[in-house]
Chain A
Amino acid sequence: MKKYLQLPLNEPDVRALRAGDTVLLSGTIVTGRDMAHRWLTEEKPDALRPFLLNGAIYHCGPVMVRDKDSWLCRSAGPTTSTRGEAYQADVIREYGLRCVIGKGGMGERTLQALGDGGAVYLHAVGGAAVIYANTVRKVLTVFRLEEFGVPEAMWVMEVADFPAVVTMDSAGNSLHRERTVRAW
């Protein structure tokens, strides 16, 4: 069964989500990857607070094309989340995030922060970038475009029915834990 989520989210609704749930997310999300996470952690810019409070950060470096005065999102799949592990827990706490969206999952520190703050990690399929770009209704604004460049800038976008699977929940469940495999 699919659950519809409308951003901004409230804590009880997010705490009710469990690893394995499929969700369709709508509302305003913000992209942020390597440089953005460092910036959010070190400088704590206030301009992002209204978008991130009870909101979602998406580990994504999209392809954007300029369309007169606005931007079109052409391709926007997730990037590997673990590169943000050193920062993610702090960003969740500092900005009151409810969702972290990415691929590949994250580590124990992030899992702990999800539980403390009441947030989830949503897994998107790596490379399925047109499916996600198609959910973008509007590109609202962008931060740090000049300094970070297109892939690393923080794009604020309104999405409708962005499909994802909860793979880390606020109760400490993670579908990304190491599987011990014997190769030979």
Chain B
Amino acid sequence: MSRNFSEKDLTLALAGCLRQASCELPEDVENALRAAMKNEAAGSLALSILVTIVQNVELAKTQQQALCQDTGLPAFYVSYPQGLSTRRIAACIEHAVVVATEAGYLRPNAVDPVTGLNSGNNLGTRIPYTVFTESDEPEIRIDCLLKGGGSENVSVQYSLPDSRIDASRDLEGVRRCVLDSVIRAKGNGCAPGILGVGIGGDRITGLQTAKEQLFRRLTDTNPDPVLDDLERSLLERSNALGIGPMGLGGNTTLLGVKIGTAHRIPASFYVSVAYMCWACRRNSLRFPL
């Protein structure tokens, strides 16, 4: 069955989706920030930082301006029904990225690593990053993620066993990797953050799995009770480390930990941590056909 769609309509809808992603923090993240305020002492720097963050979230939404200036390298996860041209969808995505950049909702972030030149429109080699998956739904669904460089820089991949942190190939080893990553990030990457963790896989699928966890709502539960337990205990332990908002001390270091797995090869055991700042800008477009 061949299907058709209007490229203009999809481009416009997607440009709108990017604007909203850039200007409006997802509700679950905003709620988590507000809830965190109750855990910080009156008069503390931690509380004043959280208040500033929440004020900024409100301002960005009412003024429709990019809530953080670093809109990252936009990533798109597309599901589409059988028979649709992924090349045409990719062209719409590129066009929408250019439109959103010109309008000031995305910062031009694509820099040639050799010449140092910024392409100016967020297009470049392997940018935007797009993943296509065929689905049975009669719609195009595009999930997008804007993840800034500060948080990307503190993302990290461990190879177990890791003698630096005495971590072996078991869940305790995984725990140590995750906590070590939180300590190493300190406040960089704009704490409070959200961790996407990938256990297993190879260098690529491990980090992909980690990053994909960032699409999960903070309020969800992991269907695997063992991982759900680990998510909760890591969140609690991280927040007891005292790192706090922006690393300046406090009880709110993370807003969530989300863990996924991928099968590994016997020789490798990776633990991948995709660190996301509080500005976890994700959005989803459903485009019926």
Contact = CB atoms under 8 A, between A and B. Distances in A.
A104 B149 CA distance: 14
Contacts of B278: 127
A76 interface: yes
B67 A80 contact: no
Given A131-B55, A167-B248, A175-B248, A79 B150 contact: yes
A49 to B, nearest CB: 25
A149 B112 CA distance: 11
A79 B109 CA distance: 14
B69 A125 contact: no
Interface residues on B, range: 35 or more
Interface stretch (A6-14, A57-65, A92-100, A108-116): A57-65
A134 interface: yes
A61 B106 CA distance: 12
Given A63-B107, A64-B104, A128-B52, A75 B65 contact: yes
Contact of A151 (B68, B118, B186, B188): B118
B56 A127 contact: yes
Interface in A44-99: 60-65, 72, 74-77, 79-80, 82
Interface in B159-210: 175-176, 179-180, 182-183, 186-190
A37 interface: no
Nearest to A165: B45
Nearest to B182: A183
The CB with the most chain B CB atoms within 10 A, among A65, A74, A128, is that of A128
B149 to A, nearest CB: 8
Contacts of A151: 69, 107-109, 118
A43 B20 CA distance: 41
Interface residues on A, range: 35 or more
Given A104-B188, A181-B241, A125 B56 contact: yes
Interface string A144-184: 00001111100000000001010100000001100101011
Contacts of A80: 150, 153, 188-189
A5 interface: no
B188 A75 contact: no
Given A123-B246, A181-B241, A183-B183, A129 B66 contact: yes
Contact of A62 (B45, B69, B117): B69
- 4 closest pairs, A vs B, by CB? A149-B118, A126-B190, A75-B66, A65-B104
Given A134-B59, A134-B63, 10 more contacts: A62-B69, A63-B106, A74-B104, A76-B69, A80-B188, A126-B150, A128-B52, A130-B60, A149-B111, A183-B182
Interface of B: 45, 49, 52-53, 55-56, 59-60, 63, 65-71, 103-104, 106-109, 111, 116-118, 120, 148-150, 153, 175-176, 179-180, 182-183, 186-190, 237, 241-243, 245-249, 277-279
